[in-house]
Chain A
Amino acid sequence: MEITEKIKTENVPKTNAMNQDPIKISVQNLSAYFGKIQVLKNVSIDIPEKKVIAIIGPSGCGKSTFLRSINRMHEVARGTITGKIIFDDEDVMKIDPVYLRRKIGMVFQKPNPFPTMSVFNNVVAGLKLNGFRNRKALKEIVEKTLKQAALWDEVKDMLNKSGANLSGGQQQRLCIARTIAINPEVILMDEPASALDPISTAKIEELIFELKKDYTIIIVTHNMQQAARVSDYTAFFYMGELIEFSDTKKMFTAPAKKQTEDYITGRFG
């Protein structure tokens, strides 16, 4: 009896600690490969709606691949997956990736505003390049999203200047604005603050806290303090496996697994 218990918990790390929250994305037995190299091993996780979920783990543990497979960005890097990712009752592999990515937006590690576009056009790039041309509506969207991204006051007088002229932190908030301008339901963030200074990082964290009212946010981070500060739930990945997924408070005070504890306390990784 004891042995079966142990096998059960170790081999099937399906954790449903937050079953009171509605599920936005359900990942089932996800494995990911680049060529013959397997980077994710049988990961199952239920992402609750309008919460912040932090993904932590040492480099190369598959965090980014996990994040990218949710909006099928892994395909851009020629990755393949098995298993299922259910987004609002639909298998993401059956949704057209272009459509899926409008519903599940993504913010990258390095701020990457389009250098040939103004601040204004950067914010509405996703709309404009998809044929939305109503100038008046675009103006409203730019103001609204920049306010949402806590950037409006800093850039309202330079909307027609290049986005590349902003500081790194401002550029990253511009990228967040660009992502929320197309009105997604989920925002994936791949270490959004790792290239930024502490003050800009704090601003991004405050922003994440504000955004979770409207969006489900999954954030990959190397910074455990950041995970503890911004997230409601934390998932710990190690060597392509999901080791533990639970309430952030619980994870950082009383982790269930030894590996998690070792990582959090800085004994490895």
Chain B
Amino acid sequence: MEIKSNVKNITFYRRKTTNIVMLSFSFLAALITLLPLIFIFYYTISKGIANLNVNFFTKLPTPVGESGGGMVNAIIGTLILIAIGGGIGIPVGIFTGTYLSEFGHNKFGFVVRFLTDVLSGIPSIVVGVVAYTLVVVPMKHFSAAAGGVALAILMIPTITRTTEEMIKLVPQSYREAGLALGIPKWKTTLLIVLKTAWKGIATGVLLGLSRAAGETAPLLFTALDNRFWSTNIFQPIASLTVYIYQYASAPYKDWNDQAWTAALVLILLISLLSLIFRIITRSKYKTTN
């Protein structure tokens, strides 16, 4: 086919060129986004793998100058801290989100929604200071419980807002179907609406837990640190993040190496958590629509 006008020809090529240029930019941007992640994985794996052995998962840290040892107390400590944080943060977050979506179409709901957004923007170190004042000062010593409270406060906004958004996505027709079957509103909300939105809510919970697992600053004021084995939630407890902070800034080469290993273990731990969540929230049914 003959192209009649030269003008048309130029616009045709310009359009094609613009398309290629824009597409390249998008691709480049996507690549730039990926780069930090690739570097993180590359460095943590290459530097951390050397010390990744059975000892790391079974032994306590050794005193300065003595080589070897592990971080079993910090691994368990991190798990305990996440468990306490999740134990408080998950139910509060889910129920708040449910309230906001199903009942919060009023002034109180508006205020809660606004304050939740404010809370999600508060620096974690400030949350640490608050938890220090609320829990550490009255108890008169640092403790895992205080750390858990700080982590819970950090989790709540993420879980609340995800829950609210996910529940809003559940079609109104399911609520009506439940109510029309003579199922009370609370049961309809809990057993139909929440159940339908469960997968999305679990993603929010996971985001909250992962964020909490990676926090250092609030733990410095609350859980502190512990060189010894402790599972007592009313005593100071070790955590991977605090150890990474201490070991990475220490002047000893073997401590620095162990900090890399701790970072690697933390990443693996969060990945494992994510995998477990994917499995337990896997839908029983493959839905076609």
Does B20 have its Cβ within 8 Å of any Cβ on chain A? no
Which residues on the B side are within 8 Å of A98 (C-beta)?
182-184
Least distance between A126 CB and chain B CB atoms (Å): 4
Does A106 have its Cβ within 8 Å of any Cβ on chain B? yes
Neighbour of A114 across the interface among B177, B184, B187, B283, CB < 8 A: B177
On whether the beta carbons of B288 and A101 are closer than 8 Å, the reply is: no
Q: How far is the CA of A134 from the CA of B157 in the complex (A)?
A: 41
Does B3 have its Cβ within 8 Å of any Cβ on chain A? no
Does B15 have its Cβ within 8 Å of any Cβ on chain A? no
CB closest residue in chain B, given A75: B179
On whether the beta carbons of A165 and B287 are closer than 8 Å, the reply is: yes
CB closest residue in chain B, given A164: B287
Known: A110-B173, A162-B285. A115 touches B196 (CB 8 A): yes
Which of A21-29, A85-93, A147-155, A175-183 lines the interface with chain B? A175-183
- B174-196: CB near A (< 8 Å → 1, else 0) gives 11111111111001100110011
CB within 8 Å of B: which A154-175 residues: 161-162, 164-165, 175
Which residues on the B side are within 8 Å of A116 (C-beta)?
192, 195-196, 198, 283-285
Does B289 have its Cβ within 8 Å of any Cβ on chain A? yes
On whether the beta carbons of B176 and A102 are closer than 8 Å, the reply is: no
Q: How far is the CA of A106 from the CA of B183 in the complex (A)?
A: 13
CB closest residue in chain A, given B171: A112
Does B286 have its Cβ within 8 Å of any Cβ on chain A? yes
CB closest residue in chain A, given B191: A129
Does A38 have its Cβ within 8 Å of any Cβ on chain B? no
Known: A112-B171, A114-B196. A175 touches B177 (CB 8 A): yes
Does A37 have its Cβ within 8 Å of any Cβ on chain B? no
CB within 8 Å of B: which A65-121 residues: 71, 73, 76, 97-102, 105-106, 108, 110, 112, 114-116, 118
Name the residue among B179, B192, B284 with the largest chain A CB count within 10 angstroms. B179
Number of CB contacts from chain A to chain B under 8 A? 87
On whether the beta carbons of B181 and A118 are closer than 8 Å, the reply is: no
Does A125 have its Cβ within 8 Å of any Cβ on chain B? yes
CB closest residue in chain B, given A128: B191
Q: How far is the CA of A152 from the CA of B198 in the complex (A)?
A: 30
Q: How far is the CA of A101 from the CA of B183 in the complex (A)?
A: 8
Name the residue among A110, A112, A178, A179 with the largest chain B CB count within 10 angstroms. A112
Which residues on the B side are within 8 Å of A102 (C-beta)?
181-182
Least distance between A63 CB and chain B CB atoms (Å): 17
Does A130 have its Cβ within 8 Å of any Cβ on chain B? yes
CB within 8 Å of B: which A42-84 residues: 71, 73, 76
Which residues on the B side are within 8 Å of A112 (C-beta)?
171, 173-174, 176-177
Neighbour of A126 across the interface among B176, B183, B198, CB < 8 A: B183
Sample of 8 A–B contacts (CB below 8 Å): A100-B182, A101-B180, A102-B181, A116-B196, A116-B198, A130-B187, A161-B285, A165-B286
Return the 8 tightest CB-CB contacts between A and B, nearest first. Answer: A162-B285, A102-B182, A126-B181, A106-B180, A112-B173, A101-B182, A164-B287, A112-B177
Using a CB–CB cutoff of 8 Å, the interface residues on chain A facing chain B are 71, 73, 76, 97-102, 105-106, 108, 110, 112, 114-116, 118, 125-126, 129-130, 161-162, 164-165, 175, 178-179, 182
